[in-house]
Structure 1
Amino acid sequence: MKHVTSHILSITVALMAATASLLSCADPWEYGGGYGYVTEVEGESENPGGRSPQELTRRVMLLYSAGYTVNISSFLSDDIEELMTGWLPEGKSFAKDVVLVYTHLPARSGGLNAPSSPILLRLYEGPGGKVVSDTLKVYAPGTVSASASQLNEVLSYIYDEYPARGYGMIMSSHGSGYLPEGFLNKPDDYVYRPDLKMQKSFGADYNGSRYTMREIEIQDMAEAIPMHLDYLLFDACYMGCVEVAYELRDKCDFIGFSQAEVLAEGFCYSSLTEHLLLSDEPDPGAVCREFFEQYDVLSGINRSATVSMVDCRRMEPLAEVCRRLFDAYRDEMNALEGWNVQGYYRYDNHWFYDLQDILLKSGISESEKVELQDALDECIVYKASTPGFMIGAAGFDIDIFSGFSMYLPADGHPELDKFYRTLQWNEATGLVQ
C-alpha cells in the first residue's frame, strides 16, 4: 500500500511518463492511457528472434505494472522517470542487456470509465546519452493486465523475442498475499466456492463506473511464467507470506517482498538496473536492502518498512520442520490469541502473523527453536524491519521479525480455512486440518 503524508494509497508504482530527455526517430505518439502525459516513442523494434550462443551474454529485466487505478497514477510517472535516471544499456544490439517495462494507465480523457491500452516498452541509452523509450507492443483497449493470460502473453513474447541467459521480473500492483480475491476488503462477504476458480494475491484493474478488482491467482501466475526467473520482486503490499513463496518456489531462484504494506516510494527505481544487470550476477538482495534503508533513516510514521529475500530453492527443510511442529503443537496453536502474536497488519486485516512468533508463543522447546531458526536461516537470505510500522496511524510495533508472515488459524475465518486447504504450503505442512 502506498502512503504519502496522511493519504493511504494502495500499492507502489511503475511506469510510463514523458520526459524531455526521450529520444524519438518517429513522430511523437500520444498514449491514450497516459494520465495526461505525451510520450515520445520509436516505431516497432527490430528483434532478431531465434536462439543462438549469444543468448548467454545478456539478461532481461521486466518491470510489470498492473496498476490500472486512479489512486496511484501520479506515482507511476515518478517511478518511470526515476528508472530512466539510472543505468541503461547503450543501444539495442543483440548482445546488450534488455530493460523492458509493461504499463497500463488510466485513459487521459475519461479516466477509469474509458478503456485504455497497455503498452510494452524497451528502454535504452541512445546517441548523446538520451533515453529512448521504444514501443514494442500496444495491446487492445480494455485488456485486463491483472490476469494470468495477459501476464503469459507478455512473458511469452519476451521469451521468444529476447533470448537471454537470464530473466528477472519486478511486479508492481495491489497485493493481498495468499488471500482469495475480494477477501481483504470484504471478508464477511466471502464464501468459499470449490466449483469456482479462486483468485488470490496480486494485481488490480479498475474497470467501468464502479471498482472491480481483478487479481492474478498465485497458482495461475506460476503456470503463466514460461521461463525460469533469476528473481521475482514484488513492490506490493502483504506479499511476504510463506504461502506465496512456497507456491512460486519452482518458478524463481529468489523472491523479494514485504510482509506489511508498502509505502509510496516503493523500491529505489534509479538503481534497479545497477543491481540487477550491471554486476556479473543479479543482486536482488541489494534492491531489498536499499528499499529498507531508504525508510529506516526517516522519522515518525514514515519510518515503516518490512522486507525479506528468500532463496526458493531452500524452502523444503522449513516445510518439513513446520509440518512436525504444527502437528505436535496443534492444540497450543489453536489456543493462541491474535493480540499476543506479532502481526503485520493495520485495522482489522488480521490475516498476516509472524511464522516464527506463532510457534514461539505455542511453546516449542529450546531444541525446536534452534531447529526452526536453522531452517529459516537456510532459506531467508536477507530480512529487515523498522522498529514499528505506521505508529500513530493504526500501526503496530515490530518486536520479532522472522522474514515470513503466515495465516493464524486461531484468529482466522471458517471460509478462509476452506480456501487455505488448497494451498501448496498447507498440503506440505497441514497447518489447517
Structure 2
Amino acid sequence: MRIKSQILFMLSIFLFISCNKEEFEIEINNQRTVFMYLPWSTNLTSYFYNNISDMEEAIQENGLDNERVIVFLSTSSSEAEMFEITLNNGSCKRNLLKEYVNPPFTTEAGLTDILRDMKTFAPAESYSMIIGCHGMGWLPVVQSRSKAKEEFVYHWDYENVPMTRFFGGLTAEYQTDISTLAKSLSNNGLSMEYILFDDCYMSSLEVAYELRHVTNYMIACPTEVMVFGMPYSTMGKYLLSENPDYKAICESFYQFYSNYQYPYGTLAVTDCSYLDKLAELMKYIHSNYSFDSTQASHIQRMDGYSPVIFYDFGDYVQTLCGTDTKVYNDFTTLMGKVVPHKTHTEKFYTASRGPITVERYSGITTSEPSTNGKMVDYPQTSWYIDTH
C-alpha cells in the first residue's frame, strides 16, 4: 500500500510538471517579438525618440495581443538601454530591462550578445527587427574614408540642407558591417520574419543577398530617406501584425511621404527566398553579356554621388540584356517575386543634388556598373562572387 501511494504521488508530480511545462511552451510559442534596434547614430537620437513615441501611438490605437516590443536605444555614444514597451489600461509604459556601458555593437561578439539579451527577455515563435540609423548600403566600414581614391563627401556631411538618415553613426567606430549583422543573428539561431532598415540606401541587392539566410523579407529604401524616418504611427499596426501586410506597409509609407513637407520617399519589400534563383540567373546573364560602360549614364541613378554608386537594378539589367527578349522576360517575371511590393514618390531627395526624378524603378539597387572609388571592395561581396 505504501509503495502504491508513493507511485501515485510521483505520477501526480510528473503530471503537474508536464502540464505546467505545456502551458509555458504554449505561452512562448504564441508570442511575437518586434525588436527596434537603434544604435548610436551621432545626430539621430531625438528622431529615435520620436520613432519610439510613434510606435507607442500605434500600439495604443491597435493594442498588443501576443506581440512584445523590445527596444535597444543608444542614449549617448557610450551608454545604451534595453526596454520593453508594454500596454496598460490604454497607456504605454517603458519597462527597463538592462543598461549598457560602451556596448560593442559594431562587433560580432557584441551584437551577438545584444541579440541574445533580446531573445532572453522576450522569447518568441517569430521575430522581426527594425534598424534605425544612418546607412550606406553594402559598403564595408573599413572603407569609410581610408580607401577611397578621391576625397569623398557622404550625404550626411552636407550642411544647411534637409537631413536624411553603414549602418550606424557617422564615423567608423559606430558603424556595423552587414556581414556582422548576419553572423550575429545566425549565432543566436534567429531567422527574422522581416528586417526593416530605417536608413538610407539599404534596399540593395548586395545587402539583401548577404541577409538572405537570416530574414524572410527585407524592407528598405533604395535611396536616401528623410530624417523623420518611417511613419510608425500609421505603419506600426502592419509591422506588429501576426502576418505583416507588406503591401499596406508600402501604401502607408507613400501616403505619408506624398503629403510630407519634403515629399520624397522610396520603399520596397524584398522576398529573400528568391534571391538564390536571381543569383543563378544573373550569373548566366553576366557570362553571356558584357556591359557597355558608355551606357552607364542612361541608367536610373538612385543617389546623388559622383560617380554614381547606387543604380536601379532593374534598369541596369535591361541595359545589359534587354535585347534578349526571352532572358529579359524571365528576369522581369522573377523580379516580380523578388520585389513583390514597392512604392515611390515622383522624386527622391539627395543631400548633394536635391530632388531627382524617378523615371524607372525596380525598388532595389546594385552597384555593379559603378566606377566610384568606393567600389574597391565590391568584388568581395557575396552577391558579386555568386553572380560572376
- Fold similarity call, TM over 0.5: yes
Q: Does residue 1:314 correspond to 2:274, yes or no? A: yes
Choose from 168, 171, 192 the match for 1:229: 192
Between the aligned partners of 1:74 and 1:284, the Cα distance in structure 2 is 27
Three-state SS of the structure 1 residue aligned to 2:115 is helix
Aligned partner of 2:10 in structure 1 is none
Deviation at 1:321, TM superposition (A): 1.6
Matches within 5 A, 1:102-251: 102-106=72-76, 116-126=78-88, 128-140=89-101, 142-181=102-141, 183=143, 187-188=148-149, 201-204=166-169, 211-225=171-185, 226=188, 227-251=190-214
Between the aligned partners of 1:344 and 1:410, the Cα distance in structure 2 is 12
Three-state SS of the structure 2 residue aligned to 1:421 is helix
Pick closer, same or farther for the CA change 1:60–1:410 going to 2, 3 Å. closer
Aligned partner of 1:255 in structure 2 is 218
Choose from 14, 26, 42 the match for 1:53: 26
Deviation at 1:51, TM superposition (A): 6.7
Between the aligned partners of 1:351 and 1:233, the Cα distance in structure 2 is 22
Deviation at 1:184, TM superposition (A): 5.7
Three-state SS of the structure 2 residue aligned to 1:154 is helix
> What TM-score do you get using the length of structure 1 for normalisation?
0.73
Choose from 59, 63, 68 the match for 1:87: 59
Q: Does residue 1:341 correspond to 2:299, yes or no? A: yes
Q: C-alpha deviations, 1:51-90, integer Å up to 9, x for none?
A: 7232221100110001341x22321222222222221599
Between the aligned partners of 1:318 and 1:398, the Cα distance in structure 2 is 24
Three-state SS of the structure 2 residue aligned to 1:409 is coil
Aligned partner of 2:45 in structure 1 is 73
Aligned partner of 2:3 in structure 1 is none
Matches within 5 A, 1:337-376: 337-348=295-306, 350-364=308-322, 365-376=324-335
- Root mean square deviation of aligned Cα: 2.8
Between the aligned partners of 1:136 and 1:59, the Cα distance in structure 2 is 18
Deviation at 1:345, TM superposition (A): 0.6
Pick closer, same or farther for the CA change 1:76–1:158 going to 2, 3 Å. closer
What amino acid is the match of 2:181? M
What amino acid is the match of 2:91? K
Aligned partner of 2:163 in structure 1 is none
Between the aligned partners of 2:275 and 2:383, the Cα distance in structure 1 is 10
Q: C-alpha deviations, 1:209-236, integer Å up to 9, x for none?
A: xx55432111121110121111110000
Q: Which moved more, 1:253-262 or 1:395-404?
A: 395-404
> What TM-score do you get using the length of structure 2 for normalisation?
0.81
Deviation at 1:118, TM superposition (A): 0.4
Pick closer, same or farther for the CA change 1:148–1:88 going to 2, 3 Å. farther
Between the aligned partners of 2:307 and 2:71, the Cα distance in structure 1 is 32
Three-state SS of the structure 2 residue aligned to 1:153 is helix
Between the aligned partners of 2:338 and 2:172, the Cα distance in structure 1 is 36
Three-state SS of the structure 2 residue aligned to 1:358 is helix
Deviation at 1:362, TM superposition (A): 2.9
Which structure: larger Rg?
A: 2
Identify unmatched segments of 5+ residues in structure 2.
1-20, 152-165
**1:67/1:172 contact within 8 Å kept:** no
Between the aligned partners of 2:191 and 2:24, the Cα distance in structure 1 is 16
Between the aligned partners of 2:357 and 2:91, the Cα distance in structure 1 is 46
Deviation at 1:273, TM superposition (A): 4.1
Deviation at 1:123, TM superposition (A): 0.7
Between the aligned partners of 2:117 and 2:274, the Cα distance in structure 1 is 30
